Structure 1
Amino acid sequence: MYGDIIKEQERRHFIEKVEETKLPTNRPVHYIPHHPVSKESSTTPIRIVYDCSCKDGRDNPSLNECLESHPPVMNDITGILMRFRAKKYATTSDLEKAFLQIQLDEKDRDATETERKKDLLRSDEIENAKFLWIRYTQGKIFSDEINCIDNSTKRKTLVRQLKKLFLDEKQLLRCGGRRIDNATVGETVKFPYLLPAKDRLTHLIVLEAHENTLHSGINITLAYIQQTFWIPKLRQCVKSILMKCVTCRKVIGKSYPAPEIPPLPKERVQDATPFSITGVDFTGALTTRNRHNEESKVYICLFTCAVTRAVHLELVYDLSEESFLLCFRRFVSRRSVPKIMMSDNALTFKAASNEISRLCNSRKVKENIQNYGIEWKFIPNRAPWFGGMWERMIGLRKY
């Protein structure tokens, strides 16, 4: 898709192809890097971004620095648009690819060269790019050390610490002094490249080494990096970067701490007569055998006091409305009428969730409860810990 966009811009004369033999030699030529940027759009999911601030070297200016600057014209454009609104008729239009419609003079087109690679990058190109970034970083951070080595002047602190610091044939700073000059290992292991601890290139190298070692620990990442590079305070650098690794934090990070236990609700701790605040729940099905040796299922309806933790059990043959009302009447006859009744929400049940939901939310049950002047409370959805006072009693009844 990226190649198709390049061809489309070439077809519409936004850009033009230039042969290498036609490149001028008597005036400067800028090579502009470009890369794709994807976005969620149905019309232009991928667009090309040209980096005109890129430099070929430390002493070479970028294209943006060579262009003549002018005062902003957005205010003038706003004034023109406002004059359009003051008239009776006004026309508006949308310019497709507005900035690409600007055509450069033929003599100025050499300053906007871009190089397009049809094939994948070769290994030697990747290696040259790596040496380029190392040379740029060393020249930016260790310029005094490089001058000290070239001119043999008074040695800097870093040069005194690394006595065998030297420049190789590619003008890259390398370190010696590992005492493994005669070992059968690679040259980069004997004489690693010097890099600063706090630099973007060092950060990327540490991340790459961490991923290549399959997100191993600090020591393995250190050993992998030291085969090629010598970085002062490397352990601190690697440790600070690995602490921010999302993949490692998911594996070795601490689990989310459990929230503090909230205080008990006021219904559980206030002075009240037994069963004035009652929780109710059903046990699972129990298998019984009658005198005719026939098996049948029964259920236990458990009423528990929220204050004294007293328990009242009633046996029911099914989970119907009539069975629950009879069971509730027997409980009221024995333990008096409660003021507040609490029960599970339907979402907390497992096997009998549908039946309990229909039972507790039925109109007939609610009308009978209102006749007694009882307030019925349901615990919140997806919060089974609110019903712990009767769930614990249900568990004890099973044994």
Structure 2
Amino acid sequence: MAPKVKSYMFELNHFQKMNSTAARRRRKVLTIEDITRAQQRDDGEKLPAHNQNHHQSPAATTMKSSRPTTEVIPRARHQPQQLCLICFQKPKMPESEHQQVIDDLIKERQLIQSSASRFIKFVKNLNNTNNIRNLSTRLADFRPVLDKFNKVQFEIDLKSNEEDEALRDAFESEYYDAIARAEEILEHGTMQSSSNATDIKLPTINLPNFNGSYTDWSPFYESFRSLIHENNNLEKIQKLHYLRSCLGAEARRTIDTLAVSADSYDTAWRLLKERYQNKRLIVQHHIHGLFNLPQITKPSPSSLRDLTDKLNAHLESLKSQNLEVEKWDAMIIYLIASKFDTQTKGEWETKLTSNELPSLQDMKSFLIQKCQTLESIEFATSSTPQCVHPTKPKPTEAPKRFNTASSLCIKCKESHFLHQCPEFLQLNPNARYDDVRNFKLCVNCLKRGHDAKACQSRACKTCGKRHHTTLHFPKRETASGSNIEEFPDNKQLESQNICETFFRETHERTPKGRFVVKLPFKNNPPSVGPTRPMAIKQFKRLETRFAANEQLHLEYDNFLKEYLQLKHMEIVGSDELFTSAAYYLPHHPIIKQSSFTTKTRVVFNASFKAGGGELSLNDNLFTGPNLQKDIFSLLLKCRVHKILLSADITKMFRQILVHPQDRDYLRIVYRDNPNTSIKTYRLKTVTYGLNCAPFLAMLCLHELAHQFANSKPRACDAIANAFYMDDLLIGANSIEEASILRDDLINILAQGGLELCKWASNCVAVLPQSNRGGNATTVSKDVFKTVKAYVALFVCLAMKAIHLELVGDYTAESFKNCLKRMMARRGIVGNLYSDNGTNFVRTDRELKETNISWHFIPPHSPHMGGIWEAGVKSCKHHFKRIVGNALLRYEELYTLLTLIESCLNSRPITPMSNDPHDLEALTPGHFLIGAPLTAPLEPNLED
């Protein structure tokens, strides 16, 4: 048997015993002494001592023939000095002796592991002071265990060729964990013993409660971590019970699925941190809290201190998240001042004597001084003794109740009722009624909480109807049409004039000619409230719809991606995300299968309200006058020409830009993948859904027509008077005239960034070479009409026979005729039973003279008419199987009902007889014709 060859590489600079992890991984890196000792154990005798002077130049050494031959080869000088030792070993000892040596080494390793396990268990179960004192002694004895383990494991590795790296890593990990835990216990145990030396009894520290709010997470986390989590004197099962007792219902649901055991504590703590230790959400909730600080309606110490305390709490929490809130003074001051009542706001403005920006500390000092002043006034008022003089008893009178909250005017925030408000009284009745409806007030008493039907206040003093006197509309006297000699011109309302003036003063043009317009707000800035949470909620409902319809999701996503590609929409940066001057538009798809261009369009809902009495974006915008021409007059004007032209402006609304100052009121939320975060976008163009969008678009067309009125009057007249929204409908008397008109329209609209498409005409020669529309189709009106019909079912309670009649409608007249047809063929009945339908009740009144008794079952009790309900079920079963979704003529339907009637009257009404000569079951048909109605004809056997 040829001897095995092993190659060992070692460095002269690393002759010390290698206990590090990196060295152990190089299992073949050995010293000469290690190899020599291994060979001595194999041979049972000692080798001569190896030359220990490693600094001498290496040389080749030749040993006896019974020893391995060793050859030392030097490496390059510039590298660390290394030696390559090649050993030719003799054959191994017998397999049984070799295995016995390995087994002994494994037993020795197990003893070392058992010793380490006892120490680790002792450290884990440490719970009193005496054990802590013994820990230092045990720790000193435990430290050499790793060296012993490495030595034995090294011997095992030499004897066997198998590597056991996992065992080394596991033992080392437990070893160092135990050392670290023991040293930590010794350190904390010493500190605790010194801190417990005092005999002063400290007050009990109550554990904080956490109900699942992100704003409360940071205080809870810091308190619980310092009191419970880092307390080494508590077992993990105790920490888990403390943790569960501190959590509210919302937060406890996060860890309810975990078992109540010591091993579950670390998992529970980790789950809570993963859910609530979210810096982004914590910051968002605190910023939301800043924007929703309580509104002060009447100055009082409690309301001002509540405002100050909540402000400080949010700011300190934001500071703990490493945000530079010191630079937010201007924004915070504006937010706080917006929460002041009129009196406090006036005092604050009076205090500011310069044009410099005040600091937040100035605002806090003002609030503290204001609180102290109000507290002093309250104390002086309450401590002043009241002189009570006896008075004569007065007649009993119903006490008058005053509610300061309700007496605060909802329009101007002053201390009076709405019907006493000067601003409210200056409005006309129409505007007053709009305000009452927007504020969601009762139209009878102008208060909240009920409607006019439930109002107990008096009615209008003028007309006596259920509305407030200030909302009374004066009666208008109208003349009949025959007395009107002249129709007066309708004068434009003031708001319409305001809209046109506003457009002409504020609109701009880009270098490419596109229009840039501002939104015509009634009040600037508008009051819209926080709409982002509700917009996100509606978008998530839309995502549920997308999950059920992949095609809709794809078309919707392509539509919004086109918005981005055309730069009609832009993403909002994170630094601009939280601002009060923003409105989020919910959006939804509109599907129009007949469209030639876009089957699915996204429509934005600008009428969405945030709730709490806030107004929508459309409520804050002027609608503007209707500048569109009547469609009837447009069609008539076109019919007088020989040649007709029609076209459409491509994306008309989206070609008109909105001024950057107003784009934050056109925000939307969207994401193309439910697994990603929701992004915020800002629309840059006039949007579908704005009530002022048609007005702004038509004004842009009129502006273009006015600009080129002198040079191209015919085309400008068509732009001003021949457009119905974005559809153009014009005519001409010759091909040349139509071609010139077409080219002029294209050139003028191109100056405003507008493009005409979908051209169509009755003359192909005048159509442009591109942007043509589809050919018109001939549509004929369907002369047939689909109507609904009904079936009346009659059941004979004696023989269970069924009679079906076709009824044209649900009126009493139709049913009366139906009943007459039935009795004409089946005979007059004495008693009728049915539910209490209105047509049945009316028919019963007309049949009183015929001595027919009609019996009605109680309302909402169909179980009392089980006989005919079962017949209805059987009739519908056959009807659906035969007809399905087909439409039948009257004769076909009536024929089908008679066939179903025949089938139902051929069903057995009794079980089969035991008589072998009785071959048929009894059916209703036996009472009618002596056999089932569906029975085939029997052949004549007489012949």
- Whether TM exceeds 0.5 here: the answer is no
Mark the structure with the bigger radius of gyration. Answer: 2
